[in-house]
């Protein structure tokens, strides 16, 4: 499914093309060496159609999801993703005529999905979008996030303009056009803030402070407006491309995508039996997705109480309710010399396995669980997450089918990085497990989905005036 006319995607976390990984034909022990980009040549751009509308750290690349969908599911199947993140599984499932149930702790999922899987029928108008953008510049409305530290992250004059634009767009009865502009405003808001926009985490840097200081001496308002217009028009084009593609290939065979942001996927009930699981759990060394996206959440109207409550449920801040033990994991724990790192591993595997097991319990017999992970290093020791998951689940009746190793071709590493793995991970792995008719489980009983979680995507809209945000 190539989209040859796509423009270059705006990337909040740019890739350094110079950081190439040397080729190596030898696969790791027990794995099958593949390149998902080569296995799925119909996707030539990881940001094609609507995938790049929202910035999100550590995105699941669509080629991997497409391969798993094509290999382990059929049209009409239901796929569950308990770590939905930016919704890649939902978009790919929809494009492939599958259905998806998406769960994620981050409330941002509820804002992402109505735009990334837009179900309108009419081509969107550049003129209507431009008219709305022009109206923002004359607005007297104001919106300031319910965030006590907002002034810490912005120069006063930039914060004033952003507050004006958000005040206008929050009151505008413009449906999908307002949603398009909000998505662009989030990227603009980070680029023109004091946070280091080259890294996912929210953190002020001297480089960025100096950059904003120099920007304020120039035509910063003109640059901000130009970026906002460019990104908004790009998103409008992506949505039109998405509509054209789905209308050409789907006709009336539109799948369903249910999404539930702001829920703990280890403790809520998956609302239906599913035919496959496709997911990518948080990386062991990068688990603070709420912190990385909280600037977006505040601009979207969420409160400090909401964000703080969810942040406390992120893996680094949660105590384990059980200790996961396998041969490989026990060996790693014995090699560690720091107690805080042992606790981090206990927390990571406890809550990751709980969430996986909770969703995997809702799979049909013989269904595949496709889990994409890396092998990070902690205190200089490699943690083979895929092998630990194999050991855990096969002891409980699951069948190990295979594990694919995909060499990372390019990656972005940061100069301030100080750890015992300065080169980063060199491979990522797609683990495939198969469910037997009877599997043991020690997962905690599931609770109903939160009442304020998002329901399934709305019915197809015939008017672009309906609100998609």
Give the pLDDT of residue 415: 45
State yes or no: pLDDT of 110 exceeds 60.
yes
Residue-wise pLDDT for 416-438, tens only, equals 444 444 455 678 999 999 998 76
pLDDT over 90 (residue 410) = no
Burial 108-137 (b: 16+ CB within 10 A, else e): bbbbbbbbbbbbbeeebeeebbeebbeebe
pLDDT: which is higher, 272 or 315: 272
**Would the pLDDT of 279 be above 70?**
yes
What does the pLDDT look like over 287-320, one tens digit per residue?
688 989 999 999 999 999 999 999 999 987 889 9
Cβ–Cβ under 8 Å, residues 31 and 401: no
- 193-231, pLDDT tens digit by residue? 999 887 778 889 899 999 999 999 999 999 999 999 999
pLDDT of 124 over the 70 cut: yes
DSSP state of 20: B
- Rounded Cα distance between 349 and 67, Å, is 26
Note the pLDDT of residue 249.
81
Q: Is the pLDDT of residue 174 over 80?
A: no
Phi and psi for 402 in degrees, rounded to 5? -170, 170
Neighbours of 44 (CB within 10 A): 14
Task: Answer yes or no: is pLDDT of 8 > 50.
Answer: no
Please say if the pLDDT value at position 409 is more than 50. yes
Please tell me the predicted confidence (pLDDT) of residue 391: 98
Longest dimension (CA), the chain: 67
Given a cut of 50, whether residue 183 has pLDDT beyond it is yes
What's the pLDDT band for 452 if we cut at 50, 70, 90? very low
CA distance linking residue 203 with residue 258, whole number of Å? 33
Mean pLDDT of the chain: 85
Taking a C-beta distance cutoff of 8 angstroms, is the pair 400, 390 a contact? Answer: yes
- C-alpha–C-alpha distance, residues 73 and 60, integer Å: 18
3-state helix, strand, coil in the chain (%, to 5): 40, 15, 45
How far apart CA 426 and CA 303 sit, in angstroms, is: 39
Q: 459: pLDDT confidence band, cut at 50, 70 and 90?
A: very low
Residue 286 confidence (pLDDT): 64
* Helix residue spans in 250-326 (DSSP H): 289-299, 304-311
Span 146-155, pLDDT tens digits:
999 999 999 9
| Domains of the chain with bracketed CATH | 32-117+255-291+304-434 (3.40.50.150), 126-246 (no CATH)
What pLDDT score was predicted for residue 408? 75
* pLDDT given at position 284: 82
Q: Rounded distance, CA 105 to CA 292, Å?
A: 13
pLDDT at 23: 44
Instruction: Name, in order, each residue with C-beta under 8 angstroms of 80's C-beta and a sequence gap of 6 or more.
Output: 100, 101, 103, 270, 274, 276, 277, 278, 279, 359, 362, 363
Please determine, for residue 14, whether its predicted confidence score (pLDDT) is greater than 50. Answer: no
Can you read off the two tokens belonging to residue 387?
Answer: 């092998």
Output the pLDDT for position 3: 38
Average pLDDT over residues 242-271: 88
> Alpha-carbon distance 397 to 368, whole Å?
13
**pLDDT for res 255:** 84
pTM (predicted TM-score): 0.86
Burial of 30 (0-12, 13-18, 19+ CB in 10 A): middle
In this structure, what DSSP letter does residue 315 have?
G
Q: What is the pLDDT, as a whole number, of residue 252?
A: 67
Taking only the tens place, the pLDDT of each residue in 333-377 is 999 999 999 999 999 999 999 999 999 999 999 999 999 999 999
Terminal Cα-to-Cα distance of the chain (whole angstroms) = 27
Q: pLDDT: is 26 or 248 the higher one?
A: 248
Q: Please enumerate in sequence order all residues whose Cβ is within 8 A of that of 38, keeping only pairs 6 or more positions apart, or say none.
A: none
- pLDDT for 31-88, tens place per residue? 899 999 999 999 999 999 999 999 888 888 999 999 999 999 999 999 999 999 999 9
- Residue 394's pLDDT is 97
């Amino acid at each position: 499914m190539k989209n040859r006319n796509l423009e270059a995607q705006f990337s909040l976390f740019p890739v350094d093309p110079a950081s190439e990984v040397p080729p190596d034909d030898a696969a790791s022990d027990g794995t099958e060496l593949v390149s998902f980009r080569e296995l799925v040549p119909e996707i030539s751009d990881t940001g094609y159609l609507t995938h790049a509308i929202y910035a999100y750290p550590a995105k699941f690349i669509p080629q991997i999801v497409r391969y798993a969908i094509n290999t382990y599911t059929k049209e009409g199947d239901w796929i569950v993703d308990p770590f939905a993140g930016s919704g890649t599984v939902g978009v790919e499932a929809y494009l492939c005529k599958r259905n998806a149930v998406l769960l994620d702790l981050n409330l941002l999922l509820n804002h992402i999905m109505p735009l990334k899987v837009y179900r309108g029928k009419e081509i969107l108008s550049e003129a209507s979008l431009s008219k709305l953008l022009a109206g923002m510049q004359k607005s007297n409305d104001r919106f300031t996030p319910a965030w006590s530290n907002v002034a810490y992250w912005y120069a006063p004059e930039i914060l004033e303009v952003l507050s004006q634009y958000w005040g206008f767009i929050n009151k505008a009865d413009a449906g999908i056009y307002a949603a398009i502009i909000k998505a662009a405003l989030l990227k603009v808001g980070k680029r023109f803030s004091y946070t280091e926009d080259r890294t996912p985490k929210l953190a002020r840097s001297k480089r960025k402070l100096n950059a904003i200081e120099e920007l304020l001496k120039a035509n910063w308002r003109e640059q901000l407006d130009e970026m906002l217009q460019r990104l908004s028009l790009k998103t409008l084009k992506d949505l039109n491309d998405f509509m054209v593609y789905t209308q050409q290939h789907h006709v009336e065979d539109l799948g369903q995508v249910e999404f539930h942001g702001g829920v703990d996927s280890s403790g809520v009930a998956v609302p239906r039996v599913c035919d496959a699981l496709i997911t990518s759990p948080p990386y062991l060394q990068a688990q603070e997705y709420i912190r990385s996206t909280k600037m977006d959440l505040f601009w979207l109207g969420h409160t400090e109480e909401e964000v703080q409550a969810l942040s406390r449920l992120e893996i680094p801040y949660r105590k384990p309710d059980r200790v996961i033990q396998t041969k490989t994991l026990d060996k790693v724990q014995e090699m560690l010399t720091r107690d805080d790192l042992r606790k981090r591993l206990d927390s990571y595997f406890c809550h990751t396995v709980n969430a996986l097991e909770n969703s995997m319990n809702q799979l049909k017999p013989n269904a595949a669980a496709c889990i994409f992970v890396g092998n990070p290093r902690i205190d200089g020791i490699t943690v083979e997450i895929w092998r630990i998951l194999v050991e855990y689940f096969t002891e409980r009746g699951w069948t190990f089918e295979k594990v694919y190793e995909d060499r990372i071709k390019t990656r972005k590493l940061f100069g301030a990085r100080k750890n015992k793995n300065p080169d980063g991970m060199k491979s990522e792995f797609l683990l495939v497990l198969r469910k037997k008719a009877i599997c043991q489980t020690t997962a905690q009983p599931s609770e109903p989905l939160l009442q304020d979680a998002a329901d399934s995507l709305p019915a197809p809209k015939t008017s672009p005036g309906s609100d998609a945000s």
